[in-house]
Structure 1
């Protein structure tokens, strides 16, 4: 890490950042002359900072605040930094960190540790998840009273309609995407294909698959931070909000995963169209835990505007082969490359909690040797299927009472997240729809 700073002598300040339960970056600005001390000793801030609400406020009556004296944890580098922050004017280094107790044990309320715990459980069984993410976002002009597509920096014109898989939509913002891919390379984010999507100013970027699950989660978190920051540098906003426009599709965050053995052989493929028993076990686990994981897949008030029938987002709990109306899709292609595409999550998720919930549910299916119902065919919206929770409160109740979530997450994390979402539900009821959009455009 110190070598990176030596090769970037123009960097004068460091941002240290940990991810809280809402996926927000919490941290400090530190002069670069303290880098050696920072790498060796870490830094400190209160445990309570890891579960602030979406406004950045303490959780009322949380035992982490006054009851415990608002005690500090120690935060150490994750091994992912230093990284450049290309959206800032001054050369700056980002050092991702995660939280521990003073005795060196991981803090159970840290979402990155939650994902690491799930990955360790897979590895203990000789299984290795391979994951990739697809992130949808809107470029938005939010300078007026209503959101609208920004004018193209090339032509100065606004194209208010959808333009799916259109090169001209990408070309209209070519300077932004060129800077974005250059920044991804500099930050070691494995960005692959970019396409225009079904909404005005909506795009999707795929991040390449890897068997380093924590890196994929890091990439997803850092990518969201990068896109939002770089868009502002270009004079407009970028948002992963689940549903910024009432009349246009929302932003999804599809997660693809397979599972290999120690030799890298995909355990979901068995040479048949149907896939292996392990694939079916994982599908069954994800379906069984779907109601409990909904809060992780749709964590905010705006999330539930996206999860409605006929809106390019799943609403029924089902799986299928090569069918984008199902919650779980088994894509076509090489039988040796069988994988699951989990299509429920919105772009507003915390990637560490979402991936821990999905992979943890799949592992439950494997451990319990669960069998899924038959795959569906046709339009899932028109079938009589069990439904996911349709309100934020229902999702919170399902998460809190789910036996599966208690198998995946530490009791402390569950309690912290439940307290956080209860507080947000209470105060969000006081806001107008416009105020909710203004809150979420720069946070999620």
Structure 2
């Protein structure tokens, strides 16, 4: 606390944004004068912040453990390792991520950050330490204030929007140099480390890769990066969107997660002394194959998410795996033995980073606990194989709820809460009449 007080004073910070990531990965919280933060008693927020849908509503269903009827206060505890400036703020401002607890000190079971801690603890008890490296794809689009109109690529420095796919194009990235300079400056000010920036397949679709590290730290970085990219884009009159499928005829956006596990000595347990893959490596893959379909409502959390996962797209549609195969849901990138890892290519960029990393690591953990064996690796394209993944949100929620193994990891309270939220969001979606329905049903049925 005293180090934080000194840090804030030395930078002339006037306000503190006290944030909590909710189920959607949205920043909830309070903004207060810095002087009040250090002199105030424990901060509180209502428990309902973890039961809201993306539309700001609450599930209608009465599910045990899926909500607090009294909407009692939660106790917020700051994680001072996340203290950083808010570089886009007009006044000197800092931000600080908080964890949530019951008044008796128990962690809030449904809080995404606490859920990730819970999964990490399972690894720690085995003497294992997971390492992750997320890759985040997103689109830059023209400002869109009317949701009835489709999104369009923005105009770059040339005065023209992109009309074709520019995968890995340097000049296409240069179209938005001023924006990316701001993103780099904002990131450096917050201590966020960008590994690489590339142009992806879609028109004005970009990807930022983060350096590998501890899961909670990397989830925090993704959470803050999303906010940073949106704010930088807005300053240039552009929207940045992490929707999984924002434009109908363009590729979807993913959040690939590279995963490995180290022991207490820092050695990769996926490789043995000879550099060969270990039983743990294959069991981790087997766990991903078995349980990723059951956590799809976390990895693909919205109706829109499933528009990305089709045979007509480049995204994976199954849990096949292969060596350096980008058509499979699980890819083993080429690497030295000490860097052997599994890339989960299924999550979409709209997923909550805390929940998606927790779900992916939980699948691998369960595989290692069960000593599973994966299928044979796929050579060539996996797009012609059958679907292994649910095709829609309600199917995904049903698979999620039926898994007893996942309940043992996540807890009944979280699973009931999350499932109720997803069903509530689907009901909201069903109130909207789509252009497809007006196009094909209006005068034909």
TM-score (norm 1): 0.92
Q: 1:381-400 CA distances to partner (integer Å, 9 max, x unpaired)?
A: 113x4520001110011111
Instruction: Quote the Cα distance in structure 1 between the aligned partners of 2:273 and 2:66.
Output: 55
Change (3 A) 1:333 1:184: same
Instruction: Quote the Cα distance in structure 2 between the aligned partners of 1:242 and 1:88.
Output: 28
Instruction: Quote the Cα distance in structure 1 between the aligned partners of 2:113 and 2:333.
Output: 28
Q: CA deviation at 1:403?
A: 2.2
Please identify, of 284-293 and 329-338, the stretch whose mean Cα deviation from structure 2 is larger.
329-338
Q: Which residue of structure 1 lines up, in the alignment, with residue 51 of structure 2?
A: 51
Matched, 1:148 2:152: yes
Contact 1:316–1:386 under 8 Å retained in 2: yes
Q: CA deviation at 1:253?
A: 0.3
Instruction: Quote the Cα distance in structure 2 between the aligned partners of 1:283 and 1:6.
Output: 49
Instruction: Quote the Cα distance in structure 2 between the aligned partners of 1:124 and 1:273.
Output: 25
Instruction: Quote the Cα distance in structure 2 between the aligned partners of 1:273 and 1:309.
Output: 36
Q: Could you say what secondary structure the match of 1:380 adopts?
A: coil
Q: Which residue of structure 2 lines up, in the alignment, with residue 227 of structure 1?
A: 229
What pairs up with 1:5-84 in 2 under 5 angstroms? Answer: 5-9=8-12, 11-37=13-39, 41-61=41-61, 68-84=69-85
Instruction: Quote the Cα distance in structure 1 between the aligned partners of 2:124 and 2:20.
Output: 25
Change (3 A) 1:272 1:331: farther
Q: Which residue of structure 2 lines up, in the alignment, with residue 442 of structure 1?
A: none
Q: Which residue of structure 2 lines up, in the alignment, with residue 405 of structure 1?
A: 406
Contact 1:148–1:160 under 8 Å retained in 2: no
Q: Which residue of structure 2 lines up, in the alignment, with residue 430 of structure 1?
A: 431
Instruction: Quote the Cα distance in structure 1 between the aligned partners of 2:95 and 2:215.
Output: 20
Instruction: Quote the Cα distance in structure 1 between the aligned partners of 2:47 and 2:425.
Output: 19
Q: 1:80-122 CA distances to partner (integer Å, 9 max, x unpaired)?
A: 3322222333332111112101111111011111100111110
Contact 2:17–2:29 under 8 Å retained in 1: yes
Q: Which residue of structure 1 lines up, in the alignment, with residue 116 of structure 2?
A: 115
What pairs up with 1:226-265 in 2 under 5 angstroms? Answer: 226-265=228-267
What pairs up with 1:32-431 in 2 under 5 angstroms? Answer: 32-37=34-39, 41-61=41-61, 68-143=69-144, 145-152=149-156, 154-210=157-213, 212-270=214-272, 275-383=277-385, 385=386, 387-431=388-432
Q: CA deviation at 1:274?
A: 6.1
Change (3 A) 1:261 1:231: same
Change (3 A) 1:64 1:329: closer
Contact 1:64–1:71 under 8 Å retained in 2: no
Q: 1:356-380 CA distances to partner (integer Å, 9 max, x unpaired)?
A: 1110111111111111111111110
Contact 1:252–1:347 under 8 Å retained in 2: yes
**Count of matched residue positions in the alignment of Structure 1 and Structure 2:** 429
Q: CA deviation at 1:142?
A: 2.8
Q: Could you say what secondary structure the match of 1:347 adopts?
A: coil
Q: CA deviation at 1:123?
A: 0.9
Q: CA deviation at 1:66?
A: 8.8
Q: CA deviation at 1:341?
A: 0.3
Q: 1:162-202 CA distances to partner (integer Å, 9 max, x unpaired)?
A: 11111111111111111111111111212110000101110
Contact 1:22–1:51 under 8 Å retained in 2: no
Change (3 A) 1:66 1:104: closer
Q: Could you say what secondary structure the match of 2:212 adopts?
A: strand
Change (3 A) 1:273 1:321: farther
Q: Gapped runs of 5+ residues in structure 2?
A: 436-445
Q: Which residue of structure 2 lines up, in the alignment, with residue 438 of structure 1?
A: none
Q: Could you say what secondary structure the match of 1:102 adopts?
A: coil
Change (3 A) 1:66 1:220: closer
Q: 1:315-349 CA distances to partner (integer Å, 9 max, x unpaired)?
A: 01211111001110001121331100000000000
Q: Gapped runs of 5+ residues in structure 1?
A: 435-444
Q: Could you say what secondary structure the match of 2:211 adopts?
A: strand
Change (3 A) 1:67 1:264: closer
Q: 1:52-85 CA distances to partner (integer Å, 9 max, x unpaired)?
A: 1101223335568996321111011123332222
How large is the Cα RMSD of the aligned pairs? 1.9
